[in-house]
Amino acid sequence: MKLRQTPEDFVVEEIPLGTWASVGKYAIYSVTKTGMTSFLARQAFARHVGVNPRNVGMAGLKDKHAKTTQFFSAPAVTPSKGEFTERIISSKLVGYSAEALRTGDLIGNRFSITVRQLNSRDVNRAQKNEAHVRLGVPNYFDSQRFGSLKGTSGFVAKDILCSYYESAVKKILTGIHPSQPSNEKACRKFIGQHWGKWKECIDEVEKRKIRAEIPYVLNYLIDNPTDFVGAFQSAKADIRELYFSAYQSFVWNQCVKKLVKKTEFEVVGINYEAGKLYFPRGPMPNESLKMVSADLDCSVRHRKVIDKVLANEKVTLEQFKNPEHLFVSRVRETALVPSEFSMIISPDERNAGMQKAVLKFVLPKGSYATVIVKALFEL
């Protein structure tokens, strides 16, 4: 079984909140990219428009390993500059708005996913699971949410909540994952072997031309060799935000897993970036479950579940009241119900003798299509 054999096998289109205006302070663009992160797409777009990337608004982040269409906003000074076509990214003006786009300014996403290299057992499993997948599966945060966990032995944010700043910084600088370029792996290994020798480490970084958050943190440590609090704070704000969001999402997933185990259905465990997810072989009952925060206010039933998860994590609710990040107790539904769902099985033209499944559906914002795929095929 193969998911994303090519980027075109995973197509995502944002669904906007409404129609765009014919005039406005901000120009709105439809940006299509293939095999590219949203952050790199924003940089390319900003270069054409002639603005700082921070002045480019985005409604959501889209997967790198896919063909995606999303909306960007930019000040409407010279709107035509935002229209361009490059090898893996293109942009076209679609309208205007009185305000810049912000995260969450969309209804949801439309997906077209081709799962390849299926044998008869894979097909039978998907056909058997289709009925309850249509009715709802656990609304987990999937592996894409936990990119900051790759190559580390735990969550950076959990270290911060526990005041283990040096451990957090070490994860940021030395975490090695198979998906990283060999040059970056070698650099991270060097830093781990020369921990505390910050000048030698930054020389290695400059020699290998490593970017991301590593140079910011190391340059701070050169001037402040043992100040790991400041070193963590020297990482880019959006990167630090990802660390905290990942851990909050992980705790929520752990709570949902406990709710899944309380259903009447048989449960199957499926691996993902942060451990294992559990799916009921039946529709997932829906509940409104809050994300963990220091000022959490929820039902007694949910509080018992959350307390058990935090006890397993060896952290307390009070620790989520942390000066480094404001945790917000947002509500997320525990069941994910795809709309406009269809599944078509046919011969796989890329893999002789095998079959493929073309899945089409719409999900609300903040949900993960790969969770639907996992539930169907028990990947």
User: How far does CA 48 lie from the centroid of its chain?
Assistant: 26
Question: Is 63 marked active-site?
Answer: yes
Retrieve residue 286's tokens.
Answer: 């829906």
The residue with tokens 């660390």 is 243
Dist CA 316 CA 349 (whole Å): 53
The DSSP result for 180-232, as a single string, is S-HHHHHHHHHHHHTTT-HHHHHHHHHHHT--TTHHHHHHHHHHSTT-HHHHH
Query: Dihedral of the CA atoms 101, 104, 108, 113 (nearest 10)?
Result: 90
Dist CA 307 CA 330 (whole Å): 17
What is the enclosing helix (H) or strand (E) of 368?
Answer: none
Per annotation, catalytic residue among 63, 105, 142, 348? 63
Retrieve residue 202's tokens.
Answer: 């930054």
The number of CA neighbours under 13 Å toward the Cβ of 137 is 30
As annotated, the active-site residues are 63
